[in-house]
């Protein structure tokens, strides 16, 4: 019985990892773009401290993909999302 619980727990953990990794590149790119755009907005409002914090959060996400095999996919989505916001205004 105890072994059965361990196996179920292991399967649950693996399932969660798989589910959270799906779409990771796309959601990371969109989040980084959103943070970048908010940073630009705060800079325009001269709220430089807030702008810096947002920019650093964005860079943390972007830096994860500098050496990643899905780098091109990330940047394609990132640029599209970043520019979408600019074009709306």
Tallying the residues shown for the chain, one arrives at: 89
Asked if residue 67 is part of any domain, the answer here is yes
Burial (CB count within 10 angstroms: exposed 0-12, middle 13-18, buried 19+), residue 32:
buried
Q: How far apart are CA 54 and CA 40, in angstroms?
A: 9
Which of 1, 55, 65, 66 is CA-nearest to residue 27?
Answer: 65
Range of the domain at 80: 23-88
Q: Say if 72 falls within a structural domain.
A: yes
- pLDDT for 22-58, tens place per residue? 569 999 999 999 999 999 999 999 999 999 999 999 9
Asked whether residue 14 is assigned to any structural domain, the reply reads no
Answer yes or no: is 13 within a domain: no
Which tens digit of pLDDT belongs to each residue from 68-83? 999 999 999 999 999 9
């Amino acid at each position: 019985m105890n072994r059965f619980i361990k196996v179920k727990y292991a399967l649950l953990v693996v399932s969660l990892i798989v589910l959270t990794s799906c779409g990771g590149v796309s959601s990371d790119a969109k989040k980084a773009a959103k943070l970048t755009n908010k940073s630009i907005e705060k800079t325009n409002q001269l709220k430089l401290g807030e702008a810096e914090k947002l920019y650093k959060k964005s860079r943390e996400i972007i830096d994860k993909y500098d050496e990643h095999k899905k780098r091109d996919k990330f940047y394609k989505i990132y640029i599209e999302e970043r520019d979408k916001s600019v074009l709306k205004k």
